[in-house]
Structure 1
Amino acid sequence: MTVDPSVIAPVLSQPSLPLPVSKKAKASIHLSPEDLRVVKDRVANDDICVLGMRFTNDRAVPAERFATLRRELGDGFIGIEIDSSEGNAWGNPKNAHSVVTEHLVDEPGHPTRAALDQVLEFFRERLLPPG
């Protein structure tokens, strides 16, 4: 995620590992306790923020996983969750998974396009020199 000090703009795009085959795995963020301490320290002391994206009905990326990220990282986690429930207003398929590739709808105002724009802005803010 952001254990390595060179990582300054971490984005979790539909983080599906570990596979959510149990209650514990659904909530897991696939980090050892030591690595989680490093990430939390970087969030607290190095102005690091982790951005994550998922579709709400994506069984590979359960809501419990984002709940863990919110609980562990607090304001250091920005979660983008796009409605893919049956009959959603945007017509996102129930089985949508890939926010900025396969299931991207590249039209202004669409939530997947807004998510892509947010990722690009996140990269600009954190990776480009000021000015």
Structure 2
Amino acid sequence: MKKTGILNPELTKLIAETGHTDTVVVTDAGLPLPETVGTKVDFALKEGQVPFLDLLDTVLNELSVEKVIMAEEIRSTSPDMHDNILSRFPNIEIQYVPHVEFKRQTENARGLVRSGEFTPYANVILVGGVVY
């Protein structure tokens, strides 16, 4: 039995296989999960479980990130969530795109990780970095 870190085998595999510039999407409960993406790890149990920020923190403990992409609508629709997300990336490039474009970009992701979050636009595309 694995003693530490992420216990979910699908999420562990997704993170281990993510390379430089690959993308991983951490989503709220409502973001469409494109059929074109092979790895979908679903942690949505019921409203609010698993919370988006808890899931994001878990992924960030093991994934190197060089850039974050968010829907520009999060700034006005969910400002508290936006601020909480930004606080996790003090020295990382943040890019904003319209939500329609955000959804289009998820189609090319290496994987999607869905939370049970009901906060609008609580979604990020994490662009893989390098650890050296």
TM-score range, shorter chain: 0.3 to 0.5
Q: If the length of structure 1 is used for normalisation, what is the TM-score?
A: 0.34
Q: If the length of structure 2 is used for normalisation, what is the TM-score?
A: 0.34
Structure with higher helix content: 1
Structure with higher strand content: 2
Flag the structure with more relative contact order, 1 or 2, with Cα contacts below 8 A and sequence separation at least 6.
2
